Amino acid sequence: MEIVRYVEPGSQQPRVGVRRDGRVAPVVYGSVAELLREPLAALRAGLGPTGPDLPAADVTFLPPVDGRTELWAAGVTYERSRTGRVEESSAATIYEKVYDAERPEIFFKSVAWRLVTDGEPVALRADSVLDVPEPELAVVVNSAGEIVGYTVCNDMSSRSIEGENPLYLPQAKIYSGACSVASGIRPAWEVDAADLAITLSVLRNGQVAYAGETSTARLHRTLADLVETLYAPTDFPDGAVLSTGTGIVPEMSFSLAEGDVVEIAIAQVGTLTNPVVRGREPLTWLVDALDRPDARKRVQR
């Protein structure tokens, strides 16, 4: 089962539902933000269908994040991520230190409306020359700090901008098309997150240009510790999504290119596929989608 956001044909009103066996049915919640205000025990009891189901192919899926819910990310949580940051950076020692430090790296990534989902494009900054996808397990957390589910995240990154100066991290990480999440949230009670296989493939002209794999078993920090760090100083009345870092970092000789297709899969959680575009202009439809959610349908593959 997956928790999803979607619009029905001819409608502009997003709905929240559950997807299973190729069909979608609405639930009682009016938004995912409302759902994330619920205690975990109440949520488990509140996901029963409240109306007729539809074939999943008939609806337009939206990112399963809305309202005041924010997406944050953790960095340098895998050994390979530490190595990759050291390779690219003019200030390499800070990444070595944060990997072993008591306090993890946590940074803001995206507001809800700027997220893209499965089949929609992710972007490369026009002024960046070295760019990579970052396949990550994302935890979905309610307002009380309880992990209620998991989804797939692509935390796009400009290695050239961050590598020039670590203070440029927001510019390397936050821009239109910089973050994609799968269209569904797998409930936490259906997933054992201790050892989930994560795979990445980048297709270029129909051929695999890069492939990598890792597992959440290689995480240097626990999911609970990362969530505790995020929530300790801050209230999240509509919950939060925390992407937990990547263990797949290509060599410095590889960079994404316009026209590539990024495919990510996480066992028990889901898949995420996004074509790659360059620059701000191909993502201007995100503003239209604020009032017309079905605008996403014309860009989804």
CATH number for position 274: 3.90.850.10
- Clarify whether residues 54 and 87 are in a common domain: no
Residue 162 lies in a domain: yes
CA torsion sign for 40, 45, 46, 47 is positive
Choose the final residue of a domain: 25, 44, 61: 61
- Clarify whether residues 189 and 78 are in a common domain: yes
Q: Which domain holds residue 82?
A: 67-290
pLDDT computed for residue 101 by the predictor: 87
The per-residue pLDDT for range 260-296, each reduced to its tens digit, is: 999 999 999 999 999 999 999 999 999 999 999 988 9
pLDDT computed for residue 301 by the predictor: 78
User: What is the overall mean pLDDT for the chain?
Assistant: 94
What percent of the chain lies above the pLDDT cut of 70?
95
Instruction: Give the pTM.
Output: 0.95
The amino acid present at 226, given as its one-letter code, is L
Residue 92 lies in a domain: yes
- Clarify whether residues 136 and 190 are in a common domain: yes
Structure tokens at 122: 């992710």
Domain count, the chain: 2
Rounded CA-CA distance 263/271 in Å is: 7
Instruction: Judge whether 19 and 2 are in contact, CB under 8 Å.
Output: yes
Residue 215 lies in a domain: yes
The per-residue pLDDT for range 43-74, each reduced to its tens digit, is: 988 899 999 999 999 999 999 999 999 999 99
The per-residue pLDDT for range 72-123, each reduced to its tens digit, is: 999 989 876 656 554 555 555 677 788 888 999 999 999 999 999 999 999 9
The per-residue pLDDT for range 154-167, each reduced to its tens digit, is: 999 999 999 899 89
2-7 and 184-187 strand pairing:
antiparallel
